[in-house]
Chains A and B, each alone.
Chain A
């Protein structure tokens, strides 16, 4: 969580100096205070599971609202940004004009995104920072809607009011500008991590797991093997944990490779069952991103990620109260037939399971302020049937304590 807050701060470091200063001044005590509580909560989470997930979320929720309040205030201070705000439409057109806290929050968020746009050209060269944006705490932050009834209702309303949400369980996210291929990859990876955590296949978020594992390795293998049995510090099976983390890491790496080789219009995350009859299926649809303004100077990844996940929470996307068994997760991605990827296995005959419960995240982008005129959309090379499904040869097996 610490990183999250810091990231928030660092994101805005490009804004006017005194504004940033003011924000830091406002946030500093809050951050300090909450950090401790959150750590305690995280520890509890690993022991208690479901209940403490909600506990975390309530903290996070408060977190966010404080944060956005500050944002709104700062936004009002800055007239140019306020103008930006007015010129932008919300992704969901028919939200009423009475001002609820949530809407303000969204607007503030939206506005912040554009605020970021203004300097994103500057920052986009700064690839290092973008990589830093790995959104460490985004996943736990997602639980926020579960904590209070009001945002949930709001989410429902948003879902219904959205013109793109045709089928049940489809969430459309419209970014206010172009999205780079790297960013697409980042979105998919974060969604994968998030799905695994929220669908209870991992006892804590991936990044936390990696952190814990590193810490464990640092403390040395002394306690690990006692009498041939794998050690169980913290109450869970170290070996399974290592394997899952290693598998997931490999999938994430290979996804990056795939995205660098080819455009990826669709990604499927299949939980349980077989690839043809999964228990749960999640689809990330990136097709519409191609029709957007030309790729090159994209929006900031971190800002988009925040927008994406906020939208997912508001739409109550991943919160299914039913407990899930431990399942295997298979990742499928559509890519160009001749992209030459070696790790993924082609599945030429594969079709998306028609009967499974499938939820779709449809990403698209509206022409943002940086691309005002209508420009020729980049036509995807070749025909549509040049894109075939590839399956990751690794199944990520869930595990718990």
Chain B
């Protein structure tokens, strides 16, 4: 199954029959103005990989010594690999070549005279979503599970598994507290899959539904609006070359629990919306090239029939200490790249710290103090963590350039301020 599945996921250069060749994904980001043939690019990338046989975990080349690659390729990256030395010779290489669409979102309108757009629509891989996948840090397995889920749905569709006997609904529900990156994860997942499956589907489409636009001012019209929306999506799906992702953000607004309506607090029109969504989902699931991604903060408000339809109900919790450390690490790297923190200093990764056994030394001092800040900020949401360096700079630095030590002090202060603010907020309530 593994081998077959890999065939689905990427095009492979099979290594000589090893016992279990590990599959390595190589993403080749082609410059947007390049018109080079994909085959030529592939040959050149393979040559490059031949020259660099051994890699340790994920690695990204952005500078090349070959004319062709300099001209056409932005980056070559080995992604989602395990943290161990990889011998590229003995691996299956899946090479995914893509370039980004820098068009912004376009809007889908349901009614001609309506100005409010019912959905935003991106062409994948979109420049806007680039880099989100890497920036999202979760416990091991969350991201790869989601990838595997979609790969399996496509694999099952390919094998013509009867959906009457084994059914899957193509619905993913991500839930959890606010600010944990559920929506971003949906976008990143769509982007990732459109890259991974680029040799199978020529492009990806990402449709983000504005759920509030599906409620009509006319009584009993809302259900029809939902149907109209799904008809639009159906048009996209009908193109077999496209892989379509539908994101319903804050899905509880479309699928509010119907039993609440029995208390008389909901108009019956809202029930029609839920019914309409459920029936439409059932219709859409027979198409092999669609995935429905939904997010929610308040799962208890969601209709049970919908929750039941979701194949994966992934809880996305607040980040762990290690994740917080990684988030801070990436933030500081970015600030050093932009020379706001100057001079550049080497920060160790959590993995390197672990291998050193958290021993204090000259080299690890800064990294250890960053880890302390990370421990202190346990319980913050991902969104809060990402804005913390900004707050630290705004409130406690106030100079154009700053050393790394000084900036970490500022971050420490900012964390304390956040904690005290949160405490006050709780007291008020």
Contact = CB atoms under 8 A, between A and B. Distances in A.
A346 B36 CA distance: 10
A275 B103 CA distance: 10
Interface residues of A, number: 18
Given A274-B106, A351-B202, 6 more contacts: A273-B106, A275-B123, A276-B205, A276-B239, A338-B35, A355-B235
A160 interface: no
B33 A345 contact: yes
Contacts of A351: 202, 241
A167 interface: no
Interface string A341-356: 0100110110101110
24 contacts: A274-B103, A274-B106, A275-B103, A275-B123, A276-B123, A276-B239, A276-B242, A277-B235, A277-B236, A325-B112, A337-B35, A337-B36, A345-B33, A346-B32, A346-B33, A348-B35, A348-B38, A349-B202, A349-B203, A351-B202, A353-B239, A354-B239, A355-B239, A388-B35
Interface of A: 273-277, 325, 337-338, 342, 345-346, 348-349, 351, 353-355, 388
Interface of B: 32-38, 99, 103, 106, 112, 121, 123, 202-203, 205, 235-236, 238-239, 241-242
Contacts of A346: 32-35
A277 B32 CA distance: 21
A353 B239 CA distance: 9
A27 to B, nearest CB: 45
Contacts of A388: 35
Contacts of A355: 235, 238-239
Contacts of B241: 351
A130 to B, nearest CB: 31
Q: B121, B123, B236: which has the most chain A beta carbons within 10 Å? A: B123
Contact of A342 (B33, B202, B205, B242): B33
B243 to A, nearest CB: 12
Contacts of B36: 337
Nearest to A385: B37
B311 to A, nearest CB: 27
B121 A274 contact: yes
Contacts of A345: 32-33
B9 to A, nearest CB: 19
Given A325-B112, A348-B99, A276 B203 contact: yes
A342 B103 CA distance: 17
Contacts of A325: 112
Contact of B123 (A274, A337, A353): A274
Contacts of A274: 103, 106, 121, 123
Contacts of B35: 337-338, 346, 348, 388
Nearest to B121: A274
Contacts of A273: 106
A276 B202 CA distance: 11
8 smallest beta-carbon distances between A and B, as pairs? A337-B35, A346-B35, A274-B106, A349-B202, A349-B203, A355-B238, A388-B35, A274-B121
Contacts of B106: 273-274
Contacts of B32: 345-346
Contacts of B99: 348
Contacts of A349: 202-203
Contacts of A342: 33
Contacts of B103: 274-275
A132 B106 CA distance: 39
A182 to B, nearest CB: 24
Contacts of B202: 349, 351
Q: B32, B106, B236: which has the most chain A beta carbons within 10 Å? A: B106
Contacts of A277: 235-236
A125 to B, nearest CB: 35
A276 B124 CA distance: 12
A101 B58 CA distance: 76
Nearest to A344: B33
A133 B123 CA distance: 40
A346 B103 CA distance: 13
Nearest to B238: A355
A353 B202 CA distance: 12
Nearest to B32: A345
Contacts of B239: 276, 353-355
A346 B205 CA distance: 19
Contacts of B38: 348
A348 B236 CA distance: 20
B151 to A, nearest CB: 21
B194 to A, nearest CB: 11
Contacts of B112: 325
A120 B154 CA distance: 61
B36 to A, nearest CB: 8
